[in-house]
Structure formats: structure tokens, C-alpha cells
Structure 1
Amino acid sequence: MKTLFKVSAAITLALSISAASAQQHRVVKLWETPNKLAIPESVFPDGKILYVALINGKPWDKDGVGSIGKVSTEGKIIDTAWVTGLNSPKGMGKHGNILYVADMDEVVTIDIKKGAVISKIKIDGAENLNDITIDKKGAIYVTDSKLGKVFKLDGNKGMLYLEGLKGLNGIKAVDNDLYVLADAMYRVDPAKKLTKITTLENGGDGIEPIGNGDFLVTAWQGYLYYVKADGTKDILLDTHTANIQTADIGYDPSTKTIYVPTFFAKSVAAYTLQ
């Protein structure tokens, strides 16, 4: 009986340790801005500055009231109208001194030093552009959530690159591949072959690589996931019951800081990844 008790205790302890270590990562909140940001959809970290895409209207309206704001990495709102005159700005990317913004059926280019629009590149056939990414060669890809298509910019013209992606939203270039969030998370190789990484039962929005083959992924309703290279995932943050969204996140790997735009909650929240 004594031996049986020891065996039972050992099994219980092993199960407890396994359960405790099953989720290896967690997030700790650092700060949150005041709720004074007009529908923040996307955050792009750049040094000590966070560029924030502010819709400031209905999510898919061409109303000219959208803007790009600036927030410090300490959570101070610097400027909510750094660049104005946009429609429904969403995903952003940077190449050189230019910030690229997905805005309905256009990709807006912004001179970062001047804080001024350089051009608005009309993407023929596009309707609801959402996320944008720039690969190591400077090629620009942008998703269209309504059409389920990915466009690739060729100079000042958008060319169809992929199509047929149901629920398409987030996109990220990593090495020679693209990673897209649709009805699932997929890796797209240079031959445009899709490999499913994991299912996304709540859809996908933001996607950021950790640097080790793992990713941070959000679902707009209020979920932040840690997705491992093998496709398994853990929930790091769940705010959906509080009606706080988790839209297109930014991530600074040097500080392991995640910047979460809360959309209708009108703030940006920062978390450290542990």
C-alpha cells in the first residue's frame, strides 16, 4: 500500500509539473494609453516611436477622416494627426524612409522624415486592403480581405499574386516565404505552394515572427496566441469577454514587447513576452 501511495504521488506530481510547464510563455502588461485613439487598427514600432493607424470612422468607409498617429514606446500619445487625409488605414510596413499603409483600395506612401504623403498607389481591382508586408528584397505585398487576394506591388502598380484565401487578413514576409492568416495560418513558399501551419478557429488578424520559427498571432475579437513552429498554440491573452479587441499588433524583438491596438476600446496596450 505504501509503495502504491508513492507511485500515485509521483504520477500526480508529474502530471502537475507537465500541466504547469505545458504553456511555456506568458505576457505581462506594461502600460496602456488613455482611451483617446480614434479606432487604432495597427501598430508599427520604429525605434522609440509607434506608428498607429487610426480609422476614426467606420472600418471600411472611404471618408477621408483616417490618420496615422504617433505614440512613444512608454505609452505617451505624441500626435493623433501626424498624417491625415486617409480613409480607413490599416496594416503598415517600412522600407528606407518610407512608411507604406494599406488604405482601402490604395497603398499610401509616407515620407517619415517630413511626415507627409508622397503618393497614393491605386491597386486596380482591390476593394478592402488590410495588411501589408515588405520582404528582404523590398518587394511589397498587401492583402485584400474582401476578395481573399494578395497583391504584389510592381513599381506603382499592384499585380495579383495569390487568390482564393477565405478570411484573409494578416501577412508577414520571413526569409523567402510569406505567412498569411486566413481560415488557417499558412506558409507560402516562392513557388506559391501553401502549407498549413495551424487552424484559426477565431480567424486571424496580426502576425509577428518571434525569430525562432514561432509566431505571435491575434484574432480581432480579443485573442493573442503564441504559435509554435510545429503548429501548436497557446492563448497568451483573452480579452474578448471584456469587448476589447486585439487587432494588428506590433512586436519589438529587442525588448520582447508586444503592442496591441484595441480598436473600439481606443487604446494601445503594451505587454512583455516572457
Structure 2
Amino acid sequence: MKVLCRAFVVFGLVGFFALSAFAESVASGKVWGGFFSPESVFVGRDYIFVANIGKEPNSLAKDNDGFISKLDKSGKVVKKDFASNLNAPKGMIEIDSTLYVVDIDRLVAFDTQGKKVLESHIQGAIFLNDIVLLDSNTLLLSDTGNGIIYAFDLKSKQTSEFARLELAKSGGGNGMLLDKAKQRLFVGCYHPHGKSGGQILAIDTKTKAIKILDAQKGAYDGVALAKNGNLLVSDWGENLNGKIYRISAKNGFSRDSLFGKNAKANVFTKTALNLPAMKGPADMFGTKDTLYIPKMLENEVLVVDLP
């Protein structure tokens, strides 16, 4: 396994950041129950998948009681344990009818029948959390435990280091959202030991430059895109008072506005969505019209209109 260490530049903290005191109204949604510590939702072409860590919400327990549930688009369970014999499955992605999921220190894939077709242990991985497709041959895997974002080659099955975050400063990467066309990777971070909290980051996928979008630290998890192009980020909050925030930018989120010569002039604002407090809002998923929020410690998935 070849690991490539690449240097990257950290841009200034933030051009300017403001926390809004107002809550944004969101249409009340539906609640799907019956899960076991749901950590992640992925909406595929035909089905919705929910990653269940297990009866106990231990994200690092190798207890073999994790599984993935398969639902139809209305939320009806097609097969509760579509993919089983996992430990603590988290982020997922579907590529050409194959479902990939990260499971603590390994990448596992399943076919349309739930049969395992790939198992690759990631050397040095501690706390794999989310997964996105960088290009037709490369997956990016975030590791909250060591701050590394790995690149996994689908052809060679080899892993390299794509970027490395400073744990003490930013926390480890948790949820990710990739805009391939504009070469930006957005990352919600969380400190694995709960010490100093995490930040919300943007990474230039070409230069590996990093921009901090939220100077106020939190226990950030999932990242999704709002209808108007703003970011939506879930935060476990203090005392399990979890919220979903909208991050807006005065000059937008283009590569130039984040990393160009006028990047310091950009102004970021964080506004809480007007939703009930959640216990463990984790790796959410947004479609054109809908936001799916797994409430990990409530064993539910909240489904609301995409704001």
C-alpha cells in the first residue's frame, strides 16, 4: 500500500464570520423509526440506504452487529438487514449498482443483492467516517481519528493520502460534500476526543489549500447543499442539543471566492434551521427537494423539505 504525503497551504482563518441570531423556518417533516443508531443516509437511484451502527451507538466497536437497511423512496423498509456482518458502518456511496461503505478501518462494498464484493482494510485508518467520489476511479475517505483524507483507487485497490487536517486545530474530517466541477471539497469536522471541537472547512481539490468557513467550533457531522447553493451542516451541539445550520457566503462558494486573491473579503454567516433539537444529527443527505437527517441517538431519520 503506497502512501503519498502531500503538502498543502492553509489560507487565512476566515475573511469574516458572523453568527446569526435568527432561526430559519423549515417545513415540518416526517420521521422514520425502527433503526439502530442510524449514522448515515444515502439516496440512490432506486432505493434509500441507512447505515445502522448497531444497538449500542459505539462508533468504534468491532462487534459485528452493524448493518445497512434498504428502503424504497417512500421510506418503507424493503430489507432491514440488506447488508450485514458490519461493525459500525457510516458513510456510503452507490457507484454502478455497487454500494460502498466505510466501516471503522475498512472499505466494504455490496452488490444489488447485499452480497459482499469488496473488503479492503485501510492501513493506518482509525475512524473512517464518510466517502465521496472524486473522479471515476477515486474515492475519498475521511478519517476522524487521525485527520487524514484518504484516496482509494478503485482499479488498483491501493490507498494514498489525499490531505491531512490538523486535529488539534480543526478536528478530524467527518461528513464531506464534493463539488467536482468547481474543485471544492467541503468537510464538517469533529475532534475525536471531544477536546476542542471541530471546524467547517473547504479544500481546493487541485492545490489542497484549506479555507476555514466557521471559526466557531462545534461537533460537526453531515454536510449537504441547500437549494440556493448554501451549505447545510449538522452539529451535535452541547448536551446533545443538535442542530442543522445554514452557512452562507457573501461572495459565494466558488473556487475563486474561497481561494482567490479576494478570498479574505468573503463574509460567512451561520444560521440555525428552525427544527426541533436532535440527539445526534449525523451524516445527512440532500436531494433536489428533500433533506434526510439520521438522528443517531434517537434511532430515527427525519425527512424534511430541502431549505
Tell me the TM-score normalized by structure 1: 0.83
SS of 1:264 mapped into structure 2: helix
Task: Return 258-267 or 203-212, whichever deviates more.
Answer: 203-212
- Matches of 1:264 and 1:45, distance apart in 2: 21
Task: Return 151-160 or 122-131, whichever deviates more.
Answer: 151-160
Q: 1:202 Cα shift?
A: 2.1
1:251 aligned residue (272, 283, 286): 286
Q: 1:174 Cα shift?
A: 0.7
- Matches of 1:125 and 1:268, distance apart in 2: 32
Match of 2:71 in 1: 71
Match of 2:303 in 1: 270
Residue identity in the other structure for 1:171:
M
CA change 1:140–1:198 in 2 (3 A) is same
Q: 1:96 Cα shift?
A: 1.7
Question: Does residue 207 of structure 2 align to residue 179 of structure 1?
Answer: no
Matches within 5 A, 1:232-251: 232-237=269-274, 239-240=276-277, 244-251=279-286
The C-alpha deviation readout for 1:24-67, integer Å capped at 9, x for no partner, is 95322221113x20110000012452100001032211111110
- Matches of 1:66 and 1:104, distance apart in 2: 11
1:205 aligned residue (221, 237, 250): 221
- Matches of 1:96 and 1:200, distance apart in 2: 39
Match of 1:49 in 2: 47
Is the 1:187–1:197 Cα contact (8 Å) retained in structure 2?
A: yes
The number of residue pairs the alignment matches comes to 248
1:218 aligned residue (234, 250, 254): 234
Residue identity in the other structure for 2:211:
T
Match of 1:227 in 2: 247
Residue identity in the other structure for 1:127:
I
Question: Does residue 210 of structure 2 align to residue 194 of structure 1?
Answer: yes
Residue identity in the other structure for 2:91:
G
Match of 2:151 in 1: 152
Structure 2 runs not aligned, ≥5 long: 1-20, 190-197, 251-267
Structure 1 runs not aligned, ≥5 long: 1-21
Is the 2:65–2:85 Cα contact (8 Å) retained in structure 1?
A: yes
Matches within 5 A, 1:93-108: 93-108=93-108
- Percent of paired sites with the same residue: 28
Tell me the TM-score normalized by structure 2: 0.75
- Matches of 1:105 and 1:244, distance apart in 2: 25
Residue identity in the other structure for 2:129:
N
Is the 2:243–2:281 Cα contact (8 Å) retained in structure 1?
A: yes
Q: 1:140 Cα shift?
A: 0.6
